Structure 1
Amino acid sequence: MYESVLSLSPQQQSLQNPKKMADTKVETISRLAQWKIDNFGPCSYKKSDSFKLGLWNWHLAIEKNRYLYVRLFPEPSRVSKDQPPLARFILRVSNLGVSRRPYISPIHERLLRNSDDFVWPVDITFFGRFVIDVEFLDLKICAPIGGEAVSIWPTQGNMQSLSSQSALQTISRMLYEGIHTDVTIKTADGTLKAHKAILSASSTVFQSMFLHDLKEKESSTIEINDMSLESCMALLSYVYGTIKPEDFWKHRLSLLAAANKYDITSLKDACEESLLEDINSGNVLERLQEAGLYQLDKLKKGCLTYLFEFGKIYDIKDELNGFFQTADRELLTEMFQEVLSVWKPA
Structure 2
Amino acid sequence: MTDSSAYRVQTTSRLAQWRIDNLASCTYRKSDPFKIGKWNWHLSIEKNRALYVKLYPEISNLTRENPPIASFIIRVVCSVGDRKTLTHPVNVSNFAAEITDKQIKSNDDFVWAIEVPLTGKFIIDVEFLDLKTASPGGGEPCSIWTEESTGRRSNATALASLGRMLAESIHTDITINASDGSIGAHRSVLAARSPVFRSMFAHNLKEKELSMINISDMTMEACQAFLNYIYGNIEREEFLAHRLSLLRAADKYDIADLKEACHDSLLEDIDTKNVLDRLQSASLYQLPKLKTSCMRYLVKFGKIFDIRDDFNAFMQSGDRDLIAEVFHEVLNAWKGF
- TM-score normalised by the shorter chain: which range applies? 0.5 to 0.7
Q: Residues of 2 paired with 1:320 and 1:246: CA distance?
A: 29
Paired residue type of 1:322: A
User: SS where residue 243 of structure 1 aligns?
Assistant: coil
The question of 1:216 aligning with 2:231 is answered: no
1:342 corresponds to which of 308, 333, 336? 333
1:286 maps to which residue? 277
> CA offsets, 1:257-291, max 9 Å, x none?
11111111111111111111111111111111111
2:248 corresponds to which of 257, 261, 274? 257
Q: Which has the higher contact order (CA 8 A, sep 6+)?
A: 2
2:307 maps to which residue? 316
Q: Residues of 2 paired with 1:175 and 1:259: CA distance?
A: 19
Shift of 1:162: 11
1:331 corresponds to which of 322, 327, 332? 322
Q: Could you tell me whether the CA contact under 8 Å between 1:291 and 1:299 is conserved in 2? A: yes
Shift of 1:210: 0.4
1:302 maps to which residue? 293
2:235 corresponds to which of 244, 247, 258? 244
Q: Residues of 2 paired with 1:171 and 1:338: CA distance?
A: 47
For structure 1, the 5+ residue unaligned runs are 1-144, 148-160
Paired residue type of 2:196: V
Q: Residues of 2 paired with 1:318 and 1:252: CA distance?
A: 25
User: SS where residue 323 of structure 2 aligns?
Assistant: helix
Mapping of 1:100-249 within 5 angstroms? 164-249=155-240
User: SS where residue 178 of structure 1 aligns?
Assistant: coil
Shift of 1:146: 11
Paired residue type of 2:163: S
Q: Residues of 2 paired with 1:210 and 1:186: CA distance?
A: 16
Q: Residues of 2 paired with 1:163 and 1:288: CA distance?
A: 31
Shift of 1:197: 0.8
Shift of 1:292: 1.4
> CA offsets, 1:129-166, max 9 Å, x none?
xxxxxxxxxxxxxxxx999xxxxxxxxxxxxx998112
User: SS where residue 191 of structure 1 aligns?
Assistant: strand
Q: Could you tell me whether the CA contact under 8 Å between 1:259 and 1:268 is conserved in 2? A: yes
Q: Residues 193 and 310 from structure 1, CA distance in 2 versus in 1: closer, same or farther, beyond 3 angstroms? A: same
Q: Could you tell me whether the CA contact under 8 Å between 1:292 and 1:328 is conserved in 2? A: no
Q: Residues of 2 paired with 1:174 and 1:301: CA distance?
A: 40
Q: How many residues are aligned here?
A: 189
Q: Could you tell me whether the CA contact under 8 Å between 1:210 and 1:217 is conserved in 2? A: yes
Paired residue type of 2:314: F
Q: Residues 278 and 225 from structure 1, CA distance in 2 versus in 1: closer, same or farther, beyond 3 angstroms? A: same
Q: Residues of 2 paired with 1:146 and 1:205: CA distance?
A: 45
> CA offsets, 1:304-333, max 9 Å, x none?
100111111110112222111211122122
Q: Residues 146 and 345 from structure 1, CA distance in 2 versus in 1: closer, same or farther, beyond 3 angstroms? A: closer
Larger radius of gyration: 1
Q: Residues of 2 paired with 1:279 and 1:212: CA distance?
A: 42
> CA offsets, 1:59-118, max 9 Å, x none?
xxxxxxxxxxxxxxxxxxxxxxxxxxxxxxxxxxxxxxxxxxxxxxxxxxxxxxxxxxxx
Q: Residues of 2 paired with 1:228 and 1:335: CA distance?
A: 32
User: SS where residue 282 of structure 1 aligns?
Assistant: coil
Q: Residues of 2 paired with 1:163 and 1:321: CA distance?
A: 45
Higher mean C-alpha displacement, 289-298 vs 300-309? 289-298
> What is the Cα-based RMSD across aligned positions, in Å?
2.2
Mapping of 1:37-56 within 5 angstroms? none
* % identical equivalent positions: 57
Q: Residues of 1 paired with 2:318 and 2:137: CA distance?
A: 54
For structure 2, the 5+ residue unaligned runs are 1-135, 139-151
Q: Residues of 1 paired with 2:137 and 2:229: CA distance?
A: 36
Q: Residues of 2 paired with 1:258 and 1:273: CA distance?
A: 16
Q: Residues of 2 paired with 1:243 and 1:228: CA distance?
A: 16
